[in-house]
Structure formats: C-alpha cells, structure tokens
Amino acid sequence: MTLHVKNLSCIRQDRLIFRELGFSLSPGSVMWIKGKNGAGKSSLLRMIAGLLRPVEGDIFWNDQNVREEPDSFVGQFHFLGHQEPLKPVFTVYENLDFWSRFHAGGRAAVDAAMDAFDLQRLRDTPARILSAGQKKRTNLARLIASPAPLWLLDEPLSSLDVHYIELFTHVLEAHVSAGGMALLATHQEIGIPSLETLNLDAAKGAVS
C-alpha cells in the first residue's frame, strides 16, 4: 500500500494555491501538512479524497492512477473534514454502527471504537445533543469502527482537550504501528516520533 502524489497543482477562485506538489506515503508513515491559513491544507486532503479536482497532476494508490481507476481507492481511506457527518437522531452507538456496517467493521469494532475515545457512557445519547468535543470524538471513533489503511484528517484535534488529544495520539500510533498511514492537517503539535512534514508555504510544497 502506497500513496503517491505527483506534480499536483491547485487553483481556487482564480488564485494559485500550490503547484508541482509531490510526495509519497508508505505503510507505517504519518505526514503532517503545515502551512498558513489559505496555504491549501484542506484542498490537498479533499483532492486526495476525490472531492476536489486538481488543475494538474495525479494521485496514485498502489501504482494505480486514482482518477483512471477510482474503484481501486474505494474503501481504502477515511476522510475526516471540518464537518461532523453524524445523523442527529442516531445515538453515538447507532452512528458508529452505521459506519461499521458500511466498511464491514463489525460490532466488536464499534465497541473498540467507543472504548478508544471514552464514549461508552454516551452510548445511547443522540448526536444532536452532543457537545462539540463529543461530536469530534464520535467522528474520530469512525477510524476504528470502520477500519481503512489510509487516514486523511483535517484538523482532527479541534474541540479536544489535552486528555483526548493524548487518546487520539495513542490511536494514531497504534494505527501506524500496524502498518497504516495518515496524512493530517493541524495547527497543533503532534507527538509522534519520525513525523514527516509537508510544508505548503514552500514554493513547491517540499517535504522536509
């Protein structure tokens, strides 16, 4: 499993956001996307997830061009953006069970997800009355309830306090230790050893 981005360029509202961006992500790797507001962090993640189309360049998954072979990428990644895609009338458990069934995770995966993010006491709570932090934790728990090798995470630490940031870090470490990959954009420091950095403020998005 390898993600390879080649010569990617992005224009939004007639403004060049980044150009000739290239990097690779292999099993067991975490890459932190850095940059000022407007540098293209969210746009890059949305392009990889297939929600935006690049002006130029290609995205490859296991040497298959995602644009030409989209089926090869289906079910291989999770994209978590700024919005929390929770059904408001569903409970925490029902929301996670929905995603688990979608990715064939199973009931045990739902329980493991709730344990990982300290959600058991909210099991029967409808999503509409959750706090911002509780919604964030429920959304992050999807990563365990419905496993996928590649995580695309846009500001995963927003609305979380220090305790839950530590829980997320443990979950992320376990994912990459098991051969998973993650690409995340955040303004907060991530305490992960051997963290790769993608700086979108650089002229060509050079990896440091």
pLDDT score, position 94: 96
pLDDT score, position 125: 98
Average pLDDT of the segment spanning 19-46: 92
Lowest mean pLDDT across 15-29, 77-91, 157-171, 186-200: 186-200
pLDDT score, position 189: 76
Q: Give the Cα separation of 131 and 129 in Å (integer).
A: 7
pLDDT score, position 203: 46
Q: What domains appear along the chain, each with residue ranges and CATH number?
A: 1-76+149-208 (3.40.50.300), 78-148 (no CATH)
CA angle 180, 66, 193 (to 5 degrees): 25
Q: Within 10 Å of residue 120's Cβ, how many Cβ atoms? A: 11
Angle formed by the axes of helices 132-145 and 92-102, nearest 10°: 30
pLDDT score, position 206: 44
Confidence of residue 202 (pLDDT cuts 50, 70, 90): confident
Provide the greatest CA pair distance for the chain: 49
Average pLDDT, the chain: 89
pLDDT score, position 172: 95
Residue 29 has pLDDT above 90, yes or no: yes
Average pLDDT of the segment spanning 43-57: 92
Residue 69 has pLDDT above 90, yes or no: no
Which of the two residues, 110 and 203, has the higher pLDDT score?
Answer: 110
pLDDT score, position 105: 64
Q: Give the Cα separation of 116 and 187 in Å (integer).
A: 23
Which of the two residues, 126 and 189, has the higher pLDDT score?
Answer: 126
Confidence of residue 167 (pLDDT cuts 50, 70, 90): very high
pLDDT digits (tens, 9 = 90+) for 129-164: 999 999 999 999 999 999 899 999 999 998 999 999
